[in-house]
Structure 1
Amino acid sequence: MKLLLKVHSERTARRRRTPEPSVAHSRDSSRINSNNANGNGSANRSRDKSPSRRATRNTILLITLILLVLATGLVVLYVELNRPKPELPSNKAIYFGNNYDHHTFPNLGNGHLVVDRTQWGAAETTNGLTIPLKQPIPYVLITHIGVQSQPCENIYKCSIKMRTIQDSAIAEKGLPDIQSNFYVSQEGNIYVGRGWDWANTYANQTLAITFMGDYGRYKPSHKQLEGVQFLLAHAVANRNVEVDYKLVAQNQTKTTRSPGAYVYQEIRNWPHFYGCGMDGATACGIELGMRTESWDAKQ
C-alpha cells in the first residue's frame, strides 16, 4: 500500500514540473502574431501618414509664397499711385531776364536751353539802353556774326564768344551793348542779348536774331534752325511778336552778306518769310514808314 502511494506521488510531482507543450506553444504563437500585427499596422500607418504630411507642408509653402508676391505687388502699386507727378516743362513760364533762378536753364523744348545775360557773363553797360521795343513786334530780322567766325558748340565756348561780341560792340563800335536781341549757337541754345524789351542796334520795330558763326562758310545745324523756330513759336504764344510777323534776312534790308548764303537758303522756305527788298520787290518796312537808313540805325 505504501509502495503504491509513493509511485502515485512521484507521477503527480513529475506532471506538475513538465509544462504542457501545446498550450505554451499556442500562447507564444499568439504573442508573436500579435506583435507582428502591431508592427505591420504601425508601419502601414506611418507609410500612410508621411506623404500626406509632405503634401500639406508643400501646399502651405506655396500659399505663403503667393501671398508674399501679392503683398509686394500691392505695396509697389500703392507707391506708384501716390508718387508725386513732375510738372511738365510746357506748363512752366519761360523768362528771359533776371527773374528766375540763374542756377537753372529754362528750356524752350526739345533740349533748346535759354542762357541769360548773367549766365554768359555779360558786362554791365555804363551808357545803358534807352530805346524800348514796342510789342508785339511786326518784323523778325535774321543776321549772322560773319567775318570768318566759327560756330560754337557748347555753353562755355559760346559764353566766351558772347562776351567777345559785347566787348567789341562797346569798345570798338561805340554801341551801348551787344547788337542783337537773341543769339543762337550751333547746338541750338538761345543766348539773351538785348532781350525782348530793348531795340536792337539795326532797326526799331524788329526782333534781331543772330546765328553765331559765319554762314557764308558754314552750314547751320538742324538744332540751330530748330532753336530759332522754337524761339519764334514762344514769341508768338506770348505776344512778343505779331501772329503774322514778317521774317526777313539782313541782306534784304541793306548791302551785306549777312546772314550768309546757307542760312538764307533755309529761312526763305519758312512760312513767315517776307520777300521784300529783293528782285525789285517793295522795300522792307515801308508799310511802317521805315526808310533804308532805318535798317542801319546803330543804336
Structure 2
Amino acid sequence: MNSLITLIFALFFLNLDDTVAECPKILSKDDWGGQSAKRIDYVIKPVKYIIVHHTVTQPCLTENDCSQQLANIQGYHMNDLSFNDIGYNFIIGGDGNIYEGAGWHKEGAHTYGYNKKSIGVAFIGDFRTIAPNAKQLEAGQKFIECAVEKGEVAQNFKLMGARSVSATESPGLALFRIIQKWRGFTRNP
C-alpha cells in the first residue's frame, strides 16, 4: 500500500515538473539589476487580459544588452514618469529571455484603464515596420501559455495590442499583425 501511495505521489510530481518545464525561464529583477518597486498594488488573479506592447527602443540580443535596456526603461518609468516600478509586468528580449518587470499578481502601469485586470507584456525593440525575431516570438507564445497554465491569466483571456485600447501605435504594426494569429487575440475588449 505504501509503495502504491509513493508511486502516485511520484507520478503527480513528475507531471507537475513536466508542466513547469514548459514554462520559459523568467529572469528576476535581481538577475537584470532592477530596482525594487516604490509601492506595490496587487491584482486579483486570474486576470482577463494580456496587453502586448513594444518598448520603442533599440533591440537587444544578449542578456547584458537587454538588462541595460531594462535598467534604462525602469529609470525612465520611475524617475521621469513617476511610476512605482517599470510599467510592464514582463518584458521579452531579443535574446529570447523573459524578464520580470512588475511581475505576477501586481498592477503594472502600461495601459490606462486595464492595469488592474491585465498583464502587460512588452517586446524590447521598435516593431512598427519590422517584426521581432523568432526567439522573441516563441518566448512570447510560451509565456502566454505558461501564464494560463499557472492560473495567472484566465483560460478565456483576451489578447490585445495596446493600440486596441489606447491612443498608441504599440505594439507596432509589424508585431500587431503577428499577434492577431495568436490564441485569444481580439480587436475589441
C-alpha separation between the residues in 1 aligned to 2:75 and 2:15? 34
Candidates 91, 96, 106, aligned match of 1:198: 106
Larger Rg: 1
The answer to whether 1:117 aligns with 2:36 is no
C-alpha separation between the residues in 1 aligned to 2:19 and 2:33? 23
2:84 partner SS: coil
The answer to whether 1:175 aligns with 2:83 is yes
The answer to whether 1:230 aligns with 2:138 is no
Task: Find the counterpart in structure 2 of residue 65 from structure 1.
Answer: none
Task: Find the counterpart in structure 1 of residue 92 from structure 2.
Answer: 184
C-alpha separation between the residues in 2 aligned to 1:161 and 1:177? 15
CA-based RMSD: 2.0
1:204 partner SS: helix
List gaps (5 residues or longer) in structure 1: 1-86, 95-106, 277-283, 285-299
Deviations 1:51-88 (CA, angstroms, capped at 9, x unpaired): xxxxxxxxxxxxxxxxxxxxxxxxxxxxxxxxxxxx98
Which stretches of structure 1, 4 residues or longer, exceed 6 Å deviation after superposition? 87-90
Structure 1 length-normalised TM? 0.54
C-alpha separation between the residues in 1 aligned to 2:22 and 2:100? 13
Alignment of 1:7-86 (within 5 A): none
Structure 1 residues 88 and 165, CA, compared in 2 at 3 Å: closer, same or farther?
Answer: farther
Task: Find the counterpart in structure 1 of residue 42 from structure 2.
Answer: 132
Task: Find the counterpart in structure 2 of residue 274 from structure 1.
Answer: 186
Task: Find the counterpart in structure 1 of residue 167 from structure 2.
Answer: 255
For residue 182 of structure 1, report the CA deviation from its aligned partner. Answer: 0.2
One-letter amino acid of the structure 1 residue matched with residue 89 of structure 2: N
List gaps (5 residues or longer) in structure 2: 1-12
C-alpha separation between the residues in 1 aligned to 2:136 and 2:61? 10
Structure 1 residues 93 and 120, CA, compared in 2 at 3 Å: closer, same or farther?
Answer: farther
Larger helix proportion, structure 1 or 2?
Answer: 1
Count residues in correspondence: 173
C-alpha separation between the residues in 2 aligned to 1:181 and 1:89? 28
Structure 2 length-normalised TM? 0.85
One-letter amino acid of the structure 1 residue matched with residue 161 of structure 2: A
Candidates 130, 135, 145, aligned match of 2:55: 145
One-letter amino acid of the structure 1 residue matched with residue 66 of structure 2: C
C-alpha separation between the residues in 1 aligned to 2:61 and 2:85? 23
For residue 92 of structure 1, report the CA deviation from its aligned partner. Answer: 6.6
Larger strand proportion, structure 1 or 2?
Answer: 2
One-letter amino acid of the structure 1 residue matched with residue 71 of structure 2: R
Flag the structure with more relative contact order, 1 or 2, with Cα contacts below 8 A and sequence separation at least 6.
2
For residue 132 of structure 1, report the CA deviation from its aligned partner. Answer: 0.8
Structure 1 residues 187 and 108, CA, compared in 2 at 3 Å: closer, same or farther?
Answer: farther
Contact 2:105–2:152 (CA under 8 A) maintained in structure 1: no
C-alpha separation between the residues in 2 aligned to 1:150 and 1:168? 15
One-letter amino acid of the structure 2 residue matched with residue 160 of structure 1: Q
For residue 217 of structure 1, report the CA deviation from its aligned partner. Answer: 3.8
1:229 partner SS: helix
